[in-house]
Amino acid sequence: MSTSTHPRFECLRNTLRAWRAEGLLRGNHQGLSQFRTIAPVSLLPIVTDLHEALEAEGLRTTIRDTVRDLGVLSLTIDDFNVEVSFAPDDAPNVCRMTTCRMGIPQSSLTRLLAYRDLDTDLASVMGLIEESVLRALAPRRATGPHSLGEPSATIG
């Protein structure tokens, strides 16, 4: 049995125990399960269409479909280090779409997308995705200093 010379994370452990005792520490099982069900059927075709549109315009892209393993679906615009990713949220009826220039934390924009909108308001969802991608790709002079740091869209 080895003994660690590092602190044993006592504060962390005590806080986790307190949260668990109060019922505050819950997993994201329901949100992840919902995402794993909906993403391959509803989100993957949108990401595939986005991939095809960008490639048709001469931009190299890569789709990473790790929905089953990690619960993430992403598209990277390789030459610009831009990533659009979709992941489950704590709320089981929405997913998070995050668009960012990798390595630049202040360039991140996160929006919540309601699953029902993937069936009932697909045009708005695609518009949000288009807007996010264009903001991430925009030449720096065409955007304000915090253009991607705006608050997330609210769910209606």
pTM above 0.75, yes or no: no
pLDDT score of 101 = 87
Single-letter code of the amino acid located at 136: A
d(CA 86, CA 95): 7
pLDDT in tens, the chain (156 residues): 566 667 788 888 888 888 888 777 666 677 888 899 999 999 999 999 999 999 999 999 999 988 888 889 999 999 999 999 999 998 888 999 999 988 776 778 899 999 999 989 999 999 999 999 999 888 765 444 444 444 444 444
Task: Calculate the dihedral angle through the C-alpha atoms of 13, 14, 20, 23, rounding to the nearest 10 degrees.
Answer: -140
Please report the pLDDT score of residue 146 as a whole number. Answer: 46
Rounding to the nearest 10 degrees, give the CA dihedral for residues 66, 69, 70, 71.
70
